[in-house]
Amino acid sequence: MSLHESPSDVASMRILMTTTRLQQPRPVTLPLQTSSGGYAMLALDQRESLRAMFGRSSHGTWVEDESLRTFKRTAVDILSPFASAALLDRQFGLDSGRPSSLAPGCGLIVACDVLHQHTGAPISSITFDEEVTPEFLEECGADAIKLLVLWNSAEGRGERSDLVGRALELAAKAGVASLVEGIVRPPTGRDWHSPDERHEAILECASELAAHRPDIYKAEVPGYRPGDVSKVRAQSVLMSQAVGGQWVVLSNGVVAEDFPDAVAESLQGGADGFLAGRAIWADTVIEPDVAIALVDRSIPRLERLRSLVDGSRP
């Protein structure tokens, strides 16, 4: 039993897990779900990419670490009451343990990846965060962990397998749910030949990574092109077949205005929800009053997305 569950909560969870086990191949992950059983999860684990969102100062320097921490604290305080779970990193989001302002009923997902990235540049590689241990997860009251994996078809399958295996082993030892996120890259040294090649890679990536059986797979929106969600539903059906279990979409790479429609179409194709950040709060980072911007713009976005998830459930 976690520090945040009462005996009655645990009993209810055990009853629900018993009655649903015959209906689905994956364990349910109630601390991360809305009351409808979907996922309306908020991503706040960005690191150097978040620093880049602030832009450079007039002196050409990037903001200090405390600016990232302050933004994350503010976002958790304002947005977590409207999310079924929040994803945070150890370095800037959990440096002092579980956020005191994390809303009751909002699950906590801890990133167990180290993102090797220069500010303003893409992620070059990913390694496992050795400081995210079962003891650390217990101290934070974590409900799940998340691992980001960079994928391309030409190389790195063994390294990816080892990385995912370590994450699933950690989740099992800590007694928390596991999320694996796949981000596709073209083969080294070239660009995608076409949008269709990238869409095929997103499905191939899902087939490889989901074969490890994480509790939830986190995918780029399948079939999406900027301004065009017409192929998302059909590609999401294929994604559901490739994953064979619970999966959610992320918002990176999607125009913010397109994201609600992309979520709606992916839900129709079998997705279980979203785990997203940029489409919800990216444009608030540089506002003079971030808190007001989060209240005025990000809360309505998150509420709309959550309503789409809940409205899609049987």
- The contacts of residue 75 (CB under 8 Å, 6+ apart) are 42, 44, 281, 294, 298
Cα separation, 274 vs 250, in Å, equals: 6
218 counts as catalytic: yes
Long-range contacts of 221-227 (CB under 8 A, 24+ apart): 221/249, 221/250, 221/251, 221/253, 221/254, 221/262, 221/266, 222/266, 222/269, 223/199, 224/253, 224/254, 224/258, 224/262, 225/195, 226/254, 226/255, 226/258, 227/255, 227/258
Q: Which of 72, 146, 173, 218 is catalytic?
A: 218
Question: Nearest 5°: phi and psi at 216?
Answer: -140, 135
Q: 146 with 138: CB under 8 angstroms?
A: no
User: Which active-site residues does the annotation give?
Assistant: 218
